């Protein structure tokens, strides 16, 4: 059993939590086998794979000002299952027992899957910029607070949590995921001395994640991608969860057509709803 008190402390302290040996060697091998079957394009051309939702943020044409009812109806429809259609092993990660207690600590009893995609990198591929989707560094910093979810730079923004499964050894000298620990609590924007040279900054860390590890991090954490230095590929599957009444876009992740989801996994793909009142607890006795 995980030490939940320790997990909560470290997650709150750093803005991320690494859980090693979350997957067995057999689970890792099966997930990599399913990826190999896809004959994906070279990662230099397309480093992301298996994304869902698959469309952009809007179906509206730029010149459209008032969408008709048909357009509005299309806006809210699901647009793909992504790599959930590749095999049962990807579906099993939705509510894997290694992550559910930690997600409950940060998101409560009612949360949903908002997005998912994978990342593949090969040796020498360039790093990505540091960013945060909430907090002082985010572009929405000056958005007025919502009635039920406050955007305040002095608070921790736990509305969105990313769960990233390491399917190959990652972090440390290999490169890959990097972040500024504790930045999810920062009251100030990221200084250019860090953002412009983050691959050399002593304030940026690359947590070590052996294959089979999983890292959970807040979207308010300042994070990015470091140059990939390893000879083997970086393979990471990312599942993005949020409190049940929140959403990043009007698009939804569809249920897979070839594989059966459990009742709890089906709930994770529901439309947004107020926690408990309109969205059930994922930890009812029937699910555990």
**Can you list the domains of the chain with their CATH numbers?**
4-57+64-287 (2.60.120.620)
pLDDT digits (tens), the chain, 288 positions: 679 999 999 999 999 999 999 999 999 999 999 999 999 999 988 899 999 997 543 333 333 343 443 333 334 455 799 999 999 999 999 999 999 999 999 899 999 999 999 999 999 998 778 888 777 777 766 665 554 444 444 444 456 899 999 999 999 999 999 999 999 888 888 999 988 888 888 999 999 999 999 999 998 899 999 999 999 999 999 999 999 998 888 889 999 998 999 999 999 999 999 998 999 999 998 876
231, two tokens: 């000879």
What pLDDT does residue 138 have?
75
C-beta of residue 190 within 8 angstroms of C-beta of residue 129: no
H or E, element range at 195: helix 192-195
Contact 158, 108 (CB under 8 A): no
Integer Cα distance of 149 and 187 in angstroms: 18
Q: Which of 121, 141, 122, 123 is nearest to 131 (CA)?
A: 141
pLDDT at residue 61, rounded to an integer: 36
pLDDT (0 to 100) of residue 144: 56
- What is the chain's Cα-based Rg? 19
Count CA within 13 A, CB hemisphere, residue 197.
4
For residue 224, the model assigns a pLDDT of 93
Nearest to 288 by CA among 102, 105, 88, 101: 101
Is 216 in contact with 102 (CB distance < 8 Å)? yes
Q: What is the pLDDT of residue 126?
A: 82
> How open is the CA angle 32-36-39, to the nearest 5 degrees?
150
Give the whole-angstrom CA distance, residue 82 versus residue 105: 27
Burial call 111-144: b when 16+ CB within 10 Å, e when fewer: bbbbbbbbbbbeeebebbebebbbbbbbeeeeee
pLDDT of 2: 79
Name the phi and psi angles at 237, rounded to 5. -110, 120
pLDDT of residue 250: 85
């Amino acid at each position: 059993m995980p030490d939940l008190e320790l997990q909560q402390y470290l997650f709150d302290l750093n803005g991320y939590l690494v859980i090693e040996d979350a997957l067995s060697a057999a689970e890792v091998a099966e997930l990599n086998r399913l990826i190999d079957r896809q004959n994906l394009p070279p990662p230099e051309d397309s480093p992301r794979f298996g994304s869902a939702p698959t469309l952009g943020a809007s179906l509206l044409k730029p010149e459209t000002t008032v969408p008709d009812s048909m357009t509005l109806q299309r806006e809210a429809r699901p647009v793909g299952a992504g790599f959930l259609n590749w095999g049962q092993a990807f579906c099993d990660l939705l509510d894997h027992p290694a992550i559910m207690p930690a997600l409950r600590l940060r998101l409560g009893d009612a949360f949903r899957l908002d997005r998912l995609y994978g990342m593949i990198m090969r040796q020498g591929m360039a790093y990505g910029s540091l960013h945060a989707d909430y907090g002082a560094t985010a572009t929405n910093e000056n958005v007025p607070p919502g009635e039920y979810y406050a955007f305040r730079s002095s608070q921790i923004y736990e509305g969105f949590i990313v769960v990233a499964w390491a399917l190959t050894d990652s972090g440390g000298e290999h490169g890959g995921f990097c972040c500024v620990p504790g930045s999810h609590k920062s009251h100030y924007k990221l200084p250019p001395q860090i953002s412009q040279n983050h691959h050399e900054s002593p304030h940026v860390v690359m947590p070590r994640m052996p294959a089979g590890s999983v890292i959970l991090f807040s979207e308010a954490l300042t994070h990015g991608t470091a140059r990939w230095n390893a000879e083997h590929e970086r393979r990471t599957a990312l599942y993005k969860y949020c409190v049940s009444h929140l959403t990043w876009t009007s698009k939804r992740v569809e249920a897979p057509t070839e594989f059966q989801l459990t009742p709890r996994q089906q709930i994770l793909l529901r439309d947004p709803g107020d926690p408990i009142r309109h969205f059930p607890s994922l930890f009812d006795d029937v699910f555990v």
